[in-house]
Amino acid sequence: MTGKALDVRTESSIEVFDLDLKSGKLVHIKSISSEALDSPNNLAVDKDGKGFLVINGGRTKLGPFRGGPFKFGSSSISYCRTETGICRTVASQGFDLANSIAMGHDGLAYISMSSTGTLAVYKMAGNELTQIDALSLGSALDHLSVDARGNILITAFTDPVELQEASTNPQASVTAGTVLMVQKKNGPSKKPDEEQYILQPMIEDEAAKLMSTTTTAVHDRLLAFIEAARSTEGGPISTKFSERMAGNLQEINPASTAVAKDDLVIPLIDFGPFYTGTPSDKHAVALSITNAFKTSGFVYLKDHGIPPSVVSRVFASSAGFFRRPQSQKDGLGWTTPQSNRGYVAIGREKLATLEETGEMDVLRGSAPDIKETMEIGREGVEGLPNQWPDHLDDEGKDFKETMLSFFGMCKDLHKQVMSAIALGMNLPEHFFDDFVNDGDNNLRLLHYPPVRKDVFKQNPNQVRAGEHSDYGSITLLFQDRHGGLQVRSPKGTFVDATPIPDTIVVNAGDLLARWSNDFIKSTRHRVIEPPKPEGEYQDDTSDSYPARYSIAYFCNPNNNKLIEALPGTYGEEINVTKKYADITAGDYLVQRLTATY
């Protein structure tokens, strides 16, 4: 830009510029003047990039009152084309201090009404802009912006008195600010009176310490910042808030550190506020989980909703099953990857990384996994029966009842965690509901039997369960006190994920990483002979390591659901392409299981 004034009519034109990418300068292309432009205030470009909607403020252009204040109810909306310079008025009624306009990814226009605290939704139909919805947000609304996933960010002011004082004397007054996010629900409403939108407070600054008179907020998807801008006597300044701070200016932080070694950080997250907290609390939990999945791929969850007494009963029932005679267990044997149900004897499965699956026979022969498992799938699937021991004795009947109840609890938790991931990925909270409602999951009971110590000395590649990543969306892991889980760090080392009482270790799987276009990490891990708990086995002279039990609940999308990159994880807006072809969840899991057994 030259800094020279352009010879155009005051407050009645739109200036069109082109960005020269080499020089980084704006080059003036043309001026658009029209009777349909009346003190243009804010505009939004449509999808083809050649047209735009513009808010007309209704100021008096000429005479003694020229440049006076905006008049209530005088705003209008015009539509212009840059190639022709032609503008026309498309809406002129019902705008009370229309302050900002944004074009959503859904093709709808969103307009903030400052005086009424209303976010109005409009649809272009022919030559008219027609209102189709309105959200009363209860605050004075300022600027709108659209993030990479199509959510609407709104700066707002909660105290009208403070706002009035700040508008007349901005350097001496402060006013509390907030940044709101409006999410459109996924899919059509099932009920006529059902709300179509979800409102989430992203940043709240009640003390006006960081965001006083902030007028604009934009979301940097790749850097995970919300940047809020405001004007001061020395010019505009901006403040960056990490996504961890969203809704969190009042020290809402549900996460603490459970593991930190070799650049691997696994947080311990209190999931309770996701059930019972405020919207800000809920969003803070969601962001903590999603941020952990983007870095380490692992979290510990406490206050997850599954009582410790239930977990203890499941462990006891699992141990009882594995004490059964080998002939009884073999009679309930695993058959096919499509079924993935039944007993798997020691040495049959060999877990490995995705890159190693072509060498499975060699790996299985040299260092088979020293474990036996019982696989339990969704009950009642035609042609894919679970292999229950209920016909053997009363203990078998109790086993079936215990596992079915536990399966249902884990299914419910799976849904809640996926809702948290949705919020953390700036998707509607219930985005994943229709993907996971069938419960095509797998409950795996694991028994690592006692092993002679010289087995590990004679074969350095021998482990309880080989290095691998999980196949599905997420895994809920319940450990006994012995532990043995190790997670691969960014430095290539394996770090102990030591058991923490009454917590669940949750990790992201390969299918979720694929679904997120690799924004989320599926981290490799393994099970070794666990480190000795402090104060135990210091004088242990036995020649064997003790048995170990664990329970894994592998969570998957419904088998018939097509898995394609999530909205906001690819596209021109963030300069990222889709990395993977679309595939149904069932086909993907069968492919992986076929390579494992």
Residue pLDDT, tens place only, 122-169: 888 877 888 888 888 767 778 888 876 678 888 777 665 555 565 555
Closest CA to 476 of 436, 500, 506: 506
Mean pLDDT of 232-254: 46
pLDDT at residue 12 tops 80: no
Say if CB 373 and CB 449 are below 8 A apart.
no
Least confident range of 412-416, 529-533, 535-539: 535-539
The DSSP secondary-structure symbol of 530 reads: P
Q: What is the pLDDT of residue 451?
A: 76
Say if CB 50 and CB 23 are below 8 A apart.
no
Pairing, β 98-103 against β 109-113? antiparallel
- The model's pTM: 0.60
The Cα 153–Cα 199 span in angstroms is: 10
Say if CB 328 and CB 392 are below 8 A apart.
yes
Q: How many CA atoms lie within 13 A of 260 on its CB side?
A: 5
Buried b (16+ CB within 10 A) or exposed e, 259-268: beeeebbbbb
Mean pLDDT of 560-576: 92
Residues paired with 107 in a beta bridge: none
The Cα 433–Cα 427 span in angstroms is: 12
Q: How many C-beta atoms surround the C-beta of residue 58 within 10 A?
A: 21
Q: Structural domains in the chain? A: 13-253 (2.120.10.30), 256-596 (2.60.120.330)
The Cα 323–Cα 71 span in angstroms is: 82
Q: What is the pLDDT of residue 577?
A: 94
Closest CA to 378 of 417, 339, 412, 415: 339
The Cα 357–Cα 359 span in angstroms is: 5
Say if CB 513 and CB 522 are below 8 A apart.
yes
SS3 state at 527: strand
Tell how far CA 415 is from the center of its chain. Answer: 13
Say if CB 461 and CB 350 are below 8 A apart.
no
Say if CB 486 and CB 496 are below 8 A apart.
yes
Mean pLDDT of 269-286: 89
Say if CB 266 and CB 497 are below 8 A apart.
yes
Residue 473 or residue 593, greater confidence = 473
- Edge-to-edge order in the sheet of strand 197-205: 140-146, 152-157, 177-184, 197-205
Closest CA to 518 of 471, 569, 567, 472: 569
Residue 321 has phi, psi (to 5 degrees) of -65, -45
CA trace torsion 327, 329, 332, 335 (10° rounding) = -100
Mean pLDDT of 196-214: 64
Tokens of 169: 């004397």
pLDDT at residue 73 tops 70: no
The vertex-389 CA angle with 385 and 391, nearest 5°, equals 95
Say if CB 546 and CB 447 are below 8 A apart.
no
Tokens of 306: 């599954």
Q: What is the pLDDT of residue 419?
A: 96
